[in-house]
Amino acid sequence: MEASAPNYFLIVGGVLFVMMNVAAGLIWVERRMLALWQDRYGPNRAGPFGLFIVLADTLKLLFKEDWIPPFADKVVFVLAPAIVMVTVLLSFVIIPFAPGIVVADLNIGILFFLAMSSMGAYSIILGGWASNNKYALLGAMRGAAQMISYEVFMGLALMGVVLLTGSFNLRDIVEAQRNMWFVVPQIIGFVIFFIAGVAETHRLPFDIPEAESELIAGFHSEYSGMKFGIFFVGEYLGITLISCMVVALYFGGWLGPAFLPPVVWFALKTFVFISIFILLRASLPRPRYDQLMEFGWKILLPLTLVNLLVTAAIVLMQNGNY
Amino acid sequence: MELTFYLAAAVAIIATILVVTQYNLIHALLYLVVSFMAIAVVFFTLGAPFMAALEIIIYAGAIVVLIIFVIMMLNLTHEDVQHEKEWLKPSVWIGPALLSLILLAELAYIFMASETSAVATQPVEAKAVGMALFGPYVLGVELSGMLLMAGIVGAYHLGRQKKKIVHRFLERTEA
C-alpha cells in the first residue's frame, strides 16, 4: 500500500483541497438545511440555490477590518485561531478515505487523533484568555472544562472498538468491520463517542463556550475578520472530522456494496452524520453548564466504563484464553 | 532519523529554558507545551510511538490545560509580570546556574568518556508497554492507582459544599 512520491503529494493535496472546500461549503449546507427544517427558504439569492453565499461570505470576511484589541495579548491572540486549524487539519492525516487513500497509515492512528483533539482545546483557552475580556474568559473557562472532561469519555468510548480490533490503526479497524459494522456490538460506545464529539467541536447543543445569548460570543467575542473566519471554518472542519471518525470507527468506513466506489461510500456516510450534526442544532436547546458537566461525569463516565468492561470480558471469552 | 532527534532535543531544551525565563506565566506554559511536544518527537524517533502519543495526550493535552485553567482564574495583571521581573534578577539565578553548569560539564564528560549503548532499533508497541506495566511493574501501577484514588477522595472532600436551602424565612443547610 506504499504510494509513490507524486501519488503521495496528490493524496495530501487532494485531502487538503476537499476538506477546505467541504468546510466552506458546509456554511451553505447548514443554512439551507436549518431553513428547510424551520420551514423557510434560507440563502437563495446569490447564484444557483444561493450557493455563492459561501463566496460572498469569504470575501466579506477577508475585507473586513481585522481588529486586534489594544488590551489583548497580541502574539497569543493571533496564534489561537491558527491552533484550531492546524490541529484539526492534522487529524485528517490518519483518516482512511478508501483503500490506499490515506495520508499517513500510522500504527497509533487513534491515539494521534486523540492527541490532536486535546491540543485543539488550546485554541479556545488561549483565544479567550488573550482577548482580555471577561466574556471571552468565561467562555474559555467553560470550553477548557468541557473539552477536558469530554475527551476522557471520547477516548474511553473508542477503546471498545480498539479492543474488538486489537489495533490502533484505522485501516485495520475498517477492515475488521467486513462482517459486521462495529455500531452493532458497540452501540453504547458509538452513542457516547458521538455525544463527546459534539461536545469536542462545541456545537449546539453543547456550544456552551460561545453561548451567544449569555456570553455574547464567548471565547471569540473580540475576534473579527478572517481570524473569526478561521474559528468558524475550524468548527466546520471539526464537524467533518468527527463525522469521518464515526464512519471509520463504527459504520464500516469505505465498505459498502460494490456498485459505488469506496470513496463515494465514505463521503455518503460522512454526509449523513454531518446532517445529523446540523439537525441537532436545529432541534435541541442548550443545557445549563453544570448540567453538561453532571451528565458527563455521572452518566457517560460510568456507562463507558461498563461498556469497556463488558467488551473486554466478551473479547476474552471469545479468545478462550482466560 | 538522527537529525530529527537532535533537532527535537534542541527545541525541547530551548523551550524549557524559555519556560523558566518568561515573565508572563501563560507564555511560559505555552513554551512548556512546546517542550512536551518536542519530547514526544524524541520518543517517536527513539521508537516509542505509543509513549509519544501519551506524552501529548496526557501532559500537553490535559495537565498543562489544567494548569492554565488555574492561572486564568488568578487574573494576572501587568503588575504581576513586573513582580516576576523583579524576582528574576541575575543575582538570583546566576549562582544556581553556575553550579548546574558544572554538573552539565560533568555529565557531558561522562557521556563522552563512556561507551553509549546504541538506541533501541525495535519500536516499542502499545502491547509491549501494556505487558510491561501489568507484568513486572504491576505493583507500581497498583500503587499509583491507590495514590490517585486518595487524591480523588481528598479533592471530593475539599470541594464538597453544604447544600443551602433558602425558602422565604426558613434557611437550613444539608450535609
Q: What is the mean pLDDT of residues B136-150?
A: 93
> Nearest by CB to A118, which of B52, B57, B126?
B57
Does any CB of chain A come closer than 8 Å to the CB of residue B125?
yes
User: Own/partner pairs for A141-145, CB < 8 Å, 24+ apart?
Assistant: A141/B69, A141/B72, A141/B73, A142/A208, A142/A209, A142/A211, A142/A218, A142/A289, A143/A202, A143/A208, A143/A209, A143/A218, A143/A219, A144/B65, A144/B68, A144/B69, A144/B72, A145/A293, A145/B69
Which of these, B16, B11, B9, lies nearest to B30 by C-alpha position? Answer: B16
> Nearest by CB to B72, which of A115, A122, A140?
A140
User: Residue B40 and residue A191: Cα distance in Å, rounded?
Assistant: 31
Contacts of A298 (CB under 8 A, 6+ apart): none
Q: Which residue has the higher pLDDT, A165 or A6?
A: A165
Contacts of B172 (CB under 8 A, 6+ apart): B164, B165
CA of B55: which chain A residue's CA is closest? A115
| pLDDT for the residue numbered B121 | 64
pLDDT digits (tens, 9 = 90+) for B43-55: 888 888 888 888 8
Q: Catalogue the E-assigned strands of B11-169.
A: 163-167
pLDDT band (50, 70, 90) for residue B143: very high
B126 contacts on A by Cβ (under 8 Å):
108, 111, 168
Does any CB of chain A come closer than 8 Å to the CB of residue B57?
yes
- B152 to each of A144, B90, B145, B161, how far by Cα in Å? 20, 41, 11, 16
pLDDT digits (tens, 9 = 90+) for B116-131: 655 656 777 778 888 8
A126 contacts on B by Cβ (under 8 Å):
26, 30
Residue A48 has pLDDT above 50, yes or no: yes
> Nearest by CB to B65, which of A112, A121, A155?
A121
Residue B173 has pLDDT above 70, yes or no: no
* A12-16, A99-103, A267-271, B67-71: least confidently modelled range: A99-103
CA of B33: which chain A residue's CA is closest? A119
Does any CB of chain A come closer than 8 Å to the CB of residue B66?
yes
pLDDT band (50, 70, 90) for residue A1: very low
Domain boundaries, chain A: 67-320
Q: What is the mean pLDDT of residues B85-107?
A: 84
Give me the residues of A, 168-187, that contact B with CB < 8 A. Answer: 168
Q: What is the mean pLDDT of residues A60-87?
A: 85
B49 contacts on A by Cβ (under 8 Å):
106-108
Q: What is the mean pLDDT of residues A110-117?
A: 88
B72 contacts on A by Cβ (under 8 Å):
125, 129, 137, 140-141, 144
Mean pLDDT of chain B: 82
| pLDDT for the residue numbered B102 | 92
Does any CB of chain B come closer than 8 Å to the CB of residue A129?
yes
CA of A169: which chain B residue's CA is closest? B126
Q: Which residue has the higher pLDDT, B16 or B128?
A: B16
User: For chain B, which domains are there?
Assistant: 2-123 (1.20.120.1200), 125-175 (no CATH)
Helix axes A262-283, A225-250, angle to 10 degrees: 120
A115 contacts on B by Cβ (under 8 Å):
53, 56-57, 60-61
User: Residue B59 and residue A112: Cα distance in Å, rounded?
Assistant: 14
Q: What is the mean pLDDT of residues A34-53?
A: 83
